Chains A and B, each alone.
Chain A
Amino acid sequence: AQSVTQPDIHITVSEGASLELRCNYSYGATPYLFWYVQSPGQGLQLLLKYFSGDTLVQGIKGFEAEFKRSQSSFNLRKPSVHWSDAAEYFCAVGTSGTYKYIFGTGTRLKVLA
């Protein structure tokens, strides 16, 4: 069955520190992979996406993610976190044909000043 796992429910980092949010997926074919960010009271904003090709993808707001097929992972990274990055982050797998997404349960990021 298709699934997405975000093992960390909460993460706290200091401003300026590096960040890595984990995402593991289970999907039979080559997946479409996405990271979204949700600030309080807001909708979901697309940070970046992977379809094929280069396994390291760059997104908005200085984020990047690396697709590792052997590990079924698509971890999100940022070299230096800003206080405005505090939000909830969702990983999603898109299924070809139906275009449905399977979302992870989210990771809530707290940034310490």
Chain B
Amino acid sequence: DAGVIQSPRHEVTEMGQEVTLRCKPISGHDYLFWYRQTMMRGLELLIYFNNNVPIDDSGMPEDRFSAKMPNASFSTLKIQPSEPRDSAVYFCATRGFLNEQFFGPGTRLTVL
């Protein structure tokens, strides 16, 4: 298995632009998590899904952030419009069969 796949690995954009981050989970894993990592705030859980349904989005910072999981093989995290303070590394993770989480390599987002 290739593990959790995230794209792009790096994204540089200008303030006000729309940003879409993508995640392909490990096949068969029923939970998917989106995290944000910054020096100031550490690892923050933004939202998670169970069987493609959003369960808890209380960590989503603002309405500018949205996430979808249209099927078991794909999820997106969208920021519209983006702001410099959104610069961070965004991780996708999925839950294994023993409650462990497997992380993707992350997307490093820079908003100028």
Contact = CB atoms under 8 A, between A and B. Distances in A.
Interface of A: 32, 34, 36, 42-46, 49, 51, 90, 94, 98-101, 103, 105-106
Interface residues of B, number: 21
A28 B105 CA distance: 32
A101 B101 contact: yes
Given A49-B98, A51-B98, A99-B95, A44 B45 contact: no
Interface of B: 4, 31, 33, 42-43, 45, 48, 55-56, 91, 93, 95, 98-106
Contacts, number: 44
A51 B108 CA distance: 32
B99 A32 contact: yes
A44 B42 contact: no
A32 B95 CA distance: 13
B104 A43 contact: yes
Nearest to A42: B105
Contacts of A43: 4, 91, 103-106
B56 A101 contact: no
Contacts of B102: 46
B75 to A, nearest CB: 16
A34 to B, nearest CB: 7
Contacts of A46: 100-102
A106 B107 CA distance: 20
B91 A106 contact: no
